[in-house]
């Protein structure tokens, strides 16, 4: 059940990569992984926070400093993006305004970053002749009920449709969509841990039946890399990952603490979905992931069907955190948290 997603692997030796939002949790883990396993020509960190860039630069080993470039910029700025993408082979688009309450309160800013930013990344990639672009999405983009999810759904549509306008140009766009990242900044586990450290008498629970998909940061990095290796353009890749009730996470971290039911927040779902019933009609199942195929007349899935482990999903298939066939146990979660802490 604890899949690694480390195959197939792309050959990134001698390539030039750019990561938007590269100073975030994913970007930092992604860069470390690349430097540990390949010898790229250069890795460009494209982000707007100079302080985060400064702190990240201090973590780059001396022998790799000449490979990593820090580029101040915003995905809202198409000219800056185009400058940064010159002679770049691969773009990983991780920049987003992703906190649900912040997006609800600042809708125009959310649209500018998540939707207009996606458009800018697509146009800059085409103009610069980038070979492959992978955009990071979220389970909140399937049947969204909040602006963040809706903006990421729009972003997904933009990246999938971008393959229609690349023409004969060898530029391909795909999307990866996964759930909550265990231990990432802003997620529930660090939040609960901080409350426990502060000596609270109870942990806030929105709803006792609330479920979420869970993935580790390393699994997320591996999933992006392996999807990059098999992409043909237009796919939305969805990993097979386990679910767990949020209340069970609280019980795992603090078995003796009481729970305070605070109610579901605006824009929050009781359960998350990664593949809707409608998307299921165009979904293929692989050994460790699902692939939502694009509705292109010219698109072929021959590169996926070459494996004996590939086939269509069942009729009326829906991939939601409450109907998942795989669930994290207390031991599973504790092991994942231990692995994360050992690697920090």
**Which residues are annotated as catalytic?**
140
What token pair was written down for 98?
Answer: 């992703």
Q: 306-314: list long-range contacts, CB under 8 Å, 24+ apart.
A: 310/284, 310/285, 310/286, 311/284, 311/285, 312/283, 312/284, 312/285, 313/275, 313/280, 313/283, 313/284, 313/285
77, two tokens: 């700025």
R_g of the chain computed on alpha carbons = 20
Residues 103 and 94: their CA atoms lie apart, in Å, by: 16
Dihedral sign for Cα 62, 66, 72, 76, please.
negative
In this structure, the chain runs to a length of 344
The burial of 153, by beta-carbon neighbours within 10 Å (0-12 exposed, 13-18 middle, 19 or more buried), is given as buried
CA distance 152 to 222: 21
């Amino acid at each position: 059940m604890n899949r690694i997603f480390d195959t197939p692997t792309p050959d990134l030796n001698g390539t030039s990569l750019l990561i938007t939002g590269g100073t975030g949790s994913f970007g930092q883990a992604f860069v470390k992984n690349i430097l540990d396993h390949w010898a790229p020509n250069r890795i460009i960190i494209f982000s707007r926070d100079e302080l985060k860039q400064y702190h990240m630069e201090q973590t780059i080993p001396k022998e790799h400093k000449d490979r990593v470039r820090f580029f101040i910029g915003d995905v809202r700025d198409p000219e800056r993006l185009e400058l940064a993408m010159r002679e770049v082979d691969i773009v990983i688009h991780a920049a987003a305004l992703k906190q649900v309450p912040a997006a609800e309160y600042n809708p125009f800013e959310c649209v500018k970053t998540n939707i207009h930013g996606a458009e800018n990344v697509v146009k800059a990639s085409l103009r610069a002749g980038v070979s492959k672009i992978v955009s990071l999405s979220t389970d909140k983009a399937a049947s969204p009920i909040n602006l963040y999810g809706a903006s990421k759904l729009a972003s997904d549509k933009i990246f999938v449709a971008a393959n229609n306008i690349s023409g004969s140009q060898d530029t391909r766009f795909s999307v990866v969509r996964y759930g909550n990242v265990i231990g990432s900044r802003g997620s529930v586990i660090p939040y609960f841990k901080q409350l426990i450290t502060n000596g609270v008498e109870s942990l806030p629970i929105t709803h006792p039946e609330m479920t979420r998909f869970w993935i580790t940061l390393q699994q997320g990095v591996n999933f992006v890399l392996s999807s990059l290796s098999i992409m043909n353009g237009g796919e939305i890749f969805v990993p097979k990952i386990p679910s767990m009730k949020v209340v069970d996470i609280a019980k795992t971290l603090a078995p003796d603490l009481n729970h305070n039911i605070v109610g579901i927040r605006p824009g929050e779902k009781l359960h998350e979905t990664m593949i809707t019933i409608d998307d299921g009609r165009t979904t293929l199942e692989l050994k460790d992931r699902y692939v939502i195929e694009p509705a292109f007349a010219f698109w072929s899935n021959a590169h996926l069907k070459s494996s004996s482990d590939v086939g269509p999903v069942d009729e009326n298939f829906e991939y939601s955190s409450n109907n998942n066939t795989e669930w994290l146990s207390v031991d599973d979660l504790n092991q994942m948290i231990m692995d994360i802490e050992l690697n920090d």
